[in-house]
Amino acid sequence: MFRTINGTQRKINPSLVYDLIPMLRQTEWVEFEDRRAYYLVSSLNEDRDSPWHDKIGMVGGAGRIISLSSFMTALKKLLKRGHIFHTEDADFFEEALQLRVLMTYFKVLAAAYPREWNNKEFLLCKYVGVSAALNLFEDMIGDMGGVPLDVENREAILRHSIDRRSRPTPS
């Protein structure tokens, strides 16, 4: 039996491992970053108002533009110490606020680049693009200098920042 199990062992898809997170009864077995990232990614995928609605390859969701594992890997960087979503307090308000800010950001990004959004010919919605977009997001939040995103014009602020950054710099 030992030889059979270890001789035929195969690596499993990381998305399968992440999809087990909500089923674990003992939350201390799961890293904070994994729990929070799973909540954010699955919420972006399930919300009908999200530009990511049904576009993330959750378990059994073949043919999507990005996998659960790739999206979580990109997002977990923001949850590490020294980054904008790092927190010692895992309360619901923080989670809901992070989801709302990400939802707004991705809506603006999808509207700014409609041809590239959800188009497999472009990298924007694949791991490389999502990772770069989240790095840009973190820089943009830093550039805002504490301006709260709850203000009425949060989409205008994000759109202005995206437009400003996407223009070539004069030589």
Cα 6 to chain centroid distance, Å, stands at: 35
pLDDT at 94 (0 to 100): 80
* 3 domain-assigned: no
* 20 domain-assigned: yes
* 1 domain-assigned: no
pLDDT at 35 (0 to 100): 82
Q: What is the pTM of this model?
A: 0.72
pLDDT at 110 (0 to 100): 93
* 74 domain-assigned: yes
Give the C-alpha separation, 55 to 71, whole Å: 11
* 135 domain-assigned: yes
pLDDT at 12 (0 to 100): 57
* 7 domain-assigned: no
pLDDT at 151 (0 to 100): 44
Give the C-alpha separation, 65 to 129, whole Å: 11
Number of domains in the chain: 1
Domain boundaries, position 127: 12-166
pLDDT at 140 (0 to 100): 81
pLDDT at 59 (0 to 100): 74
Task: Say how many CA atoms lie within 13 Å of 36 toward its Cβ.
Answer: 26
Give the C-alpha separation, 110 to 150, whole Å: 20
Neighbours of 49 (CB within 10 A): 7
End-to-end CA distance of the chain: give it in Å, rounded: 67
* 2 domain-assigned: no
- Per-residue pLDDT in tens (0 to 9) along the chain, 171 residues: 665 656 666 665 555 555 555 555 555 545 777 888 889 999 999 999 999 999 998 876 678 899 988 999 999 999 888 888 876 665 545 888 889 889 989 998 999 899 999 999 999 999 999 999 999 888 887 776 655 555 455 566 666 666 665 655 555
* 5 domain-assigned: no
